[in-house]
Structure 1
């Protein structure tokens, strides 16, 4: 840090006197100033009296450092949040509702498209809220909203920026008393018929926004309906043309499901791989049908472990972005893999992950 010196000299007579001055190498001579002032202290030099006042200040004391504004690595420009709220939701209309899992899959998953007439300007990676019809019997009030990740790109499945799509699994389970319980909102959505109205809130969320860099490596880790935001990413990357965005990086998708009949959007993803084989890698983890070399069930972290060193090398680059969406159970397994790899390089994974999150390169949305 450079320092500036302000020195003030007053003489008892009107005649000027030359004072010898020595400056430190840390002080710029151009910053020295001398001005006549009243007496403060008498100093003898060569038999003459001088009155000298001197003050040393640093630039930090005179100039406050400029605040550096953090520049996001994600596509945050123009992001809208909370345009519609529960008390005043947008009323959309169901245009399409299709089951996308096989008949022998353990559960039903549906893909649905709602009209928005362009009134819900969302970005890839955001979510919307849905307020199901009816009254909550527990309190006699309207049901509360449920959040769902958006499964379509910003221009929608029809490419006209007037729709929004969701990927929803019908929730049905038996409770401890042996009674079948149906999820309120998931069953409401899966049962929707074309033409039916639906109350929509949002859009919300910035955690899962896509990277700005079209040359980035984007690693997507999804289980079940956690595939939704990644479908939105991949449609923009491979099925659409944009004047301000042309993807030339690497998109690597890991999708975990229980059975092959549970695979979601498989045909779409395989088409993307055909279009740009050098830019898209696709790995499925089908837990009930696949095993690794040790005979262990093939969960998403098991599949990732087969590429552990390659993934770790990618993760050390500042243009690699990891996105995780789906069941919370996969997070610990993935952390365990990364912790082992980091330790081999003498790096503490917990600390390194915090830095990645701070830079927007490690993004998690699990439930």
Structure 2
């Protein structure tokens, strides 16, 4: 898949959490974007002194095909106090343009996988690639009975990114379980699959198995490392533990 540079025009946005914004763009050169769910794009811009820089954002778009011209290219952006990228996105209004390139990355579902279950683990905006994977997961649940558990770690209910999308998907697909893990504050009326604590605490409940599981870990590096060690201890071979670490940069 060729890496290309292209302009993006903001067509819509909303706040997902107090410090996370969902942004929808259209390619402003009239071309499609061919990407595999789990991949990311890079946004290119300059620091105030003119030095070029870039930031990476996983694509959050739920799709089962290449995005045609004008179809929304969606990302989630965490706002970091004093961050250069934060300043860029906070000042961006609908209709304005930024420069991007991509797609990049191999944090994707593999066509050759023959597993019985996917364990998807995320914190923060690390959940965005899993949102993009939902159409493909629906296909795998229907075609070969795959089970999927999504463990998502956040501090409070206000930080439950894309919670409505994942809950709706779980309701429509019995093979999919959505398990939010709240480290500081539980919802006022908890769902039966809500958990208190960290995702690495909840992981053991699902008895990771070397026999039938493939795991994906995305988000905070400490979370990724802790779950990687737990999954290895459970016997999962390293190729069946796929990782992507998100580090906030200013």
TM-score of Structure 1 vs Structure 2, range by shorter chain: 0.7 to 0.9
Conserved? CA contact 2:216–2:243, under 8 Å: yes
TM-score by length of 1: 0.57
Q: Name the residue aligned to 2:193.
A: none
C-alpha distance in 2, partners of 1:113/1:156? 17
Identify the residue that residue 44 of structure 2 maps to in structure 1. Answer: 131
> In structure 1, what is the equivalent of residue 211 of structure 2?
316
The one of 64, 88, 108 equivalent to 1:209 is 108
Give the alignment's TM-score, normalised by structure 2. 0.82
Q: Which residue of 1 aligns with 2:192?
A: none
Task: Give CA deviations for 1:171-210 in whole Å, capped at 9, x if unaligned.
Answer: 11xxxxxxxxx2111332244221110101111112x111
Structure 1 residue aligned with 2:58, among 124, 146, 149?
Answer: 149
Correspondent of 1:234 among 134, 137, 140? 134
1-structure distance, mates of 2:130, 2:67: 18
Please report how far the alpha carbon of residue 363 of structure 1 lies from its aligned counterpart in structure 2 after TM superposition. 0.8
Please name the residue that 1:304 is paired with.
Answer: 203
Structure 2: segments with no counterpart, 5+ residues? 187-195
More moved, 281-290 vs 147-156 = 147-156
- Gap change, CA 1:171 and 1:200, over 3 Å in 2: same
In structure 1, the residue matched to 2:26 is 115
In structure 1, the partner of 2:177 is: 281
Equivalent pair of 1:325/1:366 in contact (CA under 8 Å): yes
| Alignment partners' CA distance in 2, 1:285 and 1:266 | 12
Structure 1 residues 300, 161: closer, same or farther in 2, change over 3 A?
farther
Residues 29-64 of structure 1, C-alpha deviation per residue, up to 9 Å, x if partnerless? Answer: xxxxxxxxxxxxxxxxxxxxxxxxxxxxxxxxxxxx
Q: Secondary structure at the match of 1:306?
A: helix
- Stretches of structure 1 lacking an aligned partner (at least 5 in a row): 1-79, 85-89, 102-106, 173-181, 291-296, 343-351
Give the deviation of 1:100 after TM superposition: 1.2
Asked if 1:264 corresponds to 2:175, the answer is no
Matched, 1:225 2:125: yes
Separation of aligned partners in 2, 1:196 and 1:155: 27
4+ long deviations beyond 4 Å: 154-161, 213-216
Higher relative contact order (CA 8 A, sep 6+): 2
Which protein has the bigger strand share?
Answer: 2
Change (3 A) 1:276 1:339: closer
1:325: Cα distance to partner?
A: 0.6
How far the C-alpha of 1:154 sits from its partner, in A, is 4.5
CA pair 333-246 structure 1, distance change in 2 beyond 3 A = same
CA contact (8 A) 1:151 1:167 kept: yes
The answer to whether structure 1 residue 83 and structure 2 residue 4 are counterparts is yes
Q: What CA distance in whole angstroms lies between the structure 1 residues aligned with 2:57 and 2:36?
A: 14
Displacement, 1:126? 0.7
Q: Give the greater-gyration-radius structure (CA).
A: 1
Q: Cα–Cα, structure 1 residues 95 and 251, in superposed 2: closer, same or farther, change >3 Å?
A: same
For residues 129 and 228 of structure 1, the distance between their equivalents in structure 2, rounded to whole angstroms, comes to: 15
State the distance in 2 between where 1:159 and 1:253 align: 29
Displacement, 1:155? Answer: 5.3
